[in-house]
Chains A and B, each alone.
Chain A
Amino acid sequence: MTSSQFSELHTPTMTQTANIPLWKREGAEPFLKIENVTKKFGDFTAVDNISLDIYKNELFCLLGGSGSGKSTLLRIMAGFESATSGRIIIDGMDMAGIQPWNRPVNMMFQSYALFPHLNVADNVAFGLRREGVARSEVNKRVEKMLDMVQLGALGKRKPNQLSGGQRQRVALARSLIKRPKLLLLDEPLGALDKKLREETQFELINIQEELGVTFVVVTHDQEEAMTLATRIGVMNNGVIVQTAEPHVVYEYPNSRFVAEFVGSVNLFEGIIVEDLPDSVRIRSTEAGAELHVNHGISCAPNQVVHMAIRPEKIKISRQKPEQNVNCLHGVIEDIAYMGSLSVFKVRLASGKDVRITQPNFVRDMGARFTWHDSVYLSWDMDSSVVLTS
């Protein structure tokens, strides 16, 4: 079963045709087509034969660590780098040989790259003036754009007189003023502190929906990708490992890399003992128990697989739960109180450490357990997934 099939099954809200997103509709024309793009710097392959379709009005996130090739791919789309091979097609137009200043694409830079010698209004107006738009029209549009990003009163300020959040909004306004078909954002929230980041995330989504521009966001921050994106492309070593909606990437990672990169996860190595169409039984010496997962996989018997379970999906209890499968026994090694939740590290008899997070439903939830307590860990069949790669 592929991940896209899972997403069909687990998206109950998307029942009406009108609500079916473009990327799931049969024969929908992609807005941005990346075809077999490869970029080599000498012997190093930064982007390795990537093909990707992005649809109109999407907010697509390229998620990956540093050196995964995500920024290079973005720079190829903007025209700052040329692909060694492959094609980029935006709205039916092949971008080969088209210079950055002629592309229907704008970019918001990680450092914001505001021109320090121009004031806010001139920064925002820069793109329009290069197009030769009439002065009155420029003023009108700049004013409107500054109002939209709530900087109407700060047009005369220089960039160094602004706070980080204000600079971020100037950069956004400047990149949107030319009404680009495609907006590329390089770590748009990376330079903001946590609180501001959360506010700005939702602002960004609102603006994107209001203007109907297609966004491609590059980020290393999985939380940012989760909240922003309609779909996420997880990148590693120049390859897109998985492309899916945020909840699919989280709940149905297609590989150990994705499972570990997006959120935290407990992995148990084991071998398949029974492979039925709708369930799998795995024998895992690491877990010290038989593990059941209620979805099928296509693999050979006795194949070595990994079962992945997220820390928040594990129940922790003193009494032995009634279920016999998916039930492990261990000793609490460590407890971390984090305010909204508590994190437990439980060591199994095999020496394997399991991470469990529990929301603190009541005050002093953490005090119910203490170090070296003997505890049972259990989860439902539909909480975990099997990974073959």
Chain B
Amino acid sequence: MKRRSIFLNTTAMLGFIFLYAPIISLIVYSFNKSKLVTVWGGWSLKWYTELFNNEQIMDAALVSFNIALISASLAVVLGTMAGFVLSRMGRFRGKMILSGWITAPLIMPEVITGLSLLLLFVAMENMFGWPAGRGTGTIIIAHTTFCMAYVAVIVQSRLASMDETLEEAAMDLGAKPSSLFFLITLPLIAPALISGWLLSFTLSLDDLVIASFVSGPGNSTLPMVIFSKVRLGVTPEVNALATIMIAIVAVGVLAAMYQMRRQTKLSSGQE
């Protein structure tokens, strides 16, 4: 094997440090005994117990997870439909508008998305009384809206790379379009759906700006609570919370990667 040069090694090291140093320091300090975030006082699990006893944070976490679960699932369903239509229906009236509308949330500043959704919800409430007030429901709608854009893009690119003769073969063997979709297309794009779901889940869990616009009283999400707490000064509890969230996301990402690798192995013989 070729020896790697010192330059390459250094670059790699710097990259890793730049990416992971903040995360590692955060994890380490979450086990800090000291009350001061920046002073090391020995190992302890005390902030984790404090965290689990902090009702405000635990409630917010529950709200956030609920919202993330529901909106990721809705986004996968809607996004898959949109991606499927865009890549399989050929040319149709309004395709440009649809694909533009799909990609808009990806490039629109979150502040604009949040504000426009808030205005929409208020207008809708005035016109036909739904959604009554703002809370978990409106956050779910908002998150679904921007997450499905990501899912649609992922599904569309997966479908574009998929061998279309597989679908023709299924039709040829007697599969009607509906059973074709569930028996052939869906299993083959499943990895894209899983990664789309995981991405949506993390995006929703992470979102502060849009949620701030469309949430109501008593429905603060976790990022909103953390943000308001940090304004009053960082507590070690937040470090512990962040560590748990990193662990969850890491497990999710690893699972998605494993799934993707298994699927590419499966279909590599075909493509």
Q: Do A and B come from one complex?
A: yes
Q: Name the A residues within 8 Å of B187 (CB-CB).
A: 117
Is residue A194 contacting chain B, with contact meaning CB distance below 8 A?
no
Is residue A127 contacting chain B, with contact meaning CB distance below 8 A?
yes
B172 in contact with A107 (CB, 8 Å): yes
Known contacts A80-B168, A109-B168; A114 and B270 CB within 8 A of each other = yes
Known contacts A113-B169, A116-B188, A117-B187; A159 and B270 CB within 8 A of each other = yes
Q: How far is the CB of A129 from chain B (nearest CB, A)?
A: 9
Q: How far is the CB of B25 from chain A (nearest CB, A)?
A: 44
B179 in contact with A117 (CB, 8 Å): no
B269 in contact with A115 (CB, 8 Å): no
Q: Which of B167-202 contact A (CB under 8 A)?
A: 168-176, 179, 183-184, 187-188
B171 in contact with A100 (CB, 8 Å): yes
Q: Which of A161-187 contact B (CB under 8 A)?
A: 161-162, 174-175, 178
Which residue from A113, A158, A159, A161 sits with its C-beta under 8 Å from B165? A113
Instruction: Give the dominant DSSP class at B's interface.
Output: helix
Stretch at the interface among B60-68, B92-100, B225-233, B260-268: B260-268
Instruction: Give the dominant DSSP class at A's interface.
Output: mixed
A106 in contact with B172 (CB, 8 Å): yes
For the complex, give the distance between the alpha carbons of A113 and B180 in Å: 14
Known contacts A80-B168, A109-B168, A130-B179; A116 and B266 CB within 8 A of each other = yes
For the complex, give the distance between the alpha carbons of A99 and B175 in Å: 10
Q: Name the A residues within 8 Å of B166 (CB-CB).
A: 113, 115-116
For the complex, give the distance between the alpha carbons of A178 and B46 in Å: 68
Is residue A282 contacting chain B, with contact meaning CB distance below 8 A?
no
Is residue A131 contacting chain B, with contact meaning CB distance below 8 A?
yes
Is residue A101 contacting chain B, with contact meaning CB distance below 8 A?
yes
For the complex, give the distance between the alpha carbons of A74 and B165 in Å: 14
Known contacts A116-B188, A160-B266, A160-B268; A130 and B168 CB within 8 A of each other = no
B173 in contact with A130 (CB, 8 Å): yes
Is residue B55 contacting chain A, with contact meaning CB distance below 8 A?
no
Q: How far is the CB of A182 from chain B (nearest CB, A)?
A: 12
For the complex, give the distance between the alpha carbons of A160 and B184 in Å: 16
How big is the B interface, by class? Answer: 20 to 34
Count of chain A to chain B residue pairs whose CB atoms are closer than 8 Å in the complex: 77
B270 in contact with A101 (CB, 8 Å): no
Q: How far is the CB of A132 from chain B (nearest CB, A)?
A: 10
A78 in contact with B172 (CB, 8 Å): yes
Known contacts A100-B172, A106-B173, A127-B174; A113 and B269 CB within 8 A of each other = no
B168 in contact with A161 (CB, 8 Å): no
Is residue A23 contacting chain B, with contact meaning CB distance below 8 A?
no
B165 in contact with A178 (CB, 8 Å): no
Q: Which of A17-39 contact B (CB under 8 A)?
A: none
A130 in contact with B174 (CB, 8 Å): yes
Is residue A126 contacting chain B, with contact meaning CB distance below 8 A?
yes
Closest to B167 in A: A113
B269 in contact with A101 (CB, 8 Å): no
B270 in contact with A116 (CB, 8 Å): yes
Known contacts A113-B163, A117-B188, A130-B179; A160 and B168 CB within 8 A of each other = no
How big is the A interface, by class? Answer: 20 to 34
B266 in contact with A130 (CB, 8 Å): no
Known contacts A114-B270, A160-B269; A174 and B173 CB within 8 A of each other = yes
The interface centre, meaning the residue of A78, A109, A116, A162 with most chain B CB atoms within 10 A of its CB, is A116
Is residue A388 contacting chain B, with contact meaning CB distance below 8 A?
no
Closest to A105 in B: B172
Which residue from B165, B170, B183, B269 sits with its C-beta under 8 Å from A116? B269
Q: How far is the CB of A35 from chain B (nearest CB, A)?
A: 23
Q: Name the B residues within 8 Å of A107 (CB-CB).
A: 168-169, 172
Closest to B265 in A: A160
B165 in contact with A111 (CB, 8 Å): yes
Q: Name the A residues within 8 Å of B265 (CB-CB).
A: 160
Closest to A160 in B: B269
A161 in contact with B173 (CB, 8 Å): no
Q: How far is the CB of A76 from chain B (nearest CB, A)?
A: 13
A101 in contact with B172 (CB, 8 Å): yes
A178 in contact with B173 (CB, 8 Å): yes
Q: Name the B residues within 8 Å of A160 (CB-CB).
A: 265-270
Q: How far is the CB of B173 from chain A (nearest CB, A)?
A: 4
Closest to B266 in A: A116
B170 in contact with A159 (CB, 8 Å): no
Q: Name the B residues within 8 Å of A159 (CB-CB).
A: 269-270
Q: Name the B residues within 8 Å of A106 (CB-CB).
A: 172-173
For the complex, give the distance between the alpha carbons of A159 and B271 in Å: 11
Q: Name the A residues within 8 Å of B267 (CB-CB).
A: 116-117, 160
Q: Name the B residues within 8 Å of A115 (CB-CB).
A: 166, 169-170, 184
For the complex, give the distance between the alpha carbons of A107 and B175 in Å: 14
Q: How far is the CB of A192 from chain B (nearest CB, A)?
A: 15
Q: Name the B residues within 8 Å of A117 (CB-CB).
A: 187-188, 266-267
Q: Name the A residues within 8 Å of B174 (CB-CB).
A: 101-102, 127, 130-131, 178
Closest to A114 in B: B270
Q: Name the A residues within 8 Å of B172 (CB-CB).
A: 78, 100-101, 105-107, 175
For the complex, give the distance between the alpha carbons of A114 and B188 in Å: 12
- The 3 A-B pairs at the shortest CB distance, nearest first, are namely A160-B269, A130-B174, A127-B173
A-B contacts, 8 of them at CB < 8 A, read: A100-B172, A101-B173, A101-B175, A109-B168, A113-B169, A130-B179, A160-B270, A178-B174
Q: A101-B172, A127-B173, A160-B268 are in contact. List 8 more A-B contacts (CB 8 A).
A: A78-B172, A101-B175, A107-B168, A107-B172, A113-B166, A130-B175, A158-B269, A160-B269
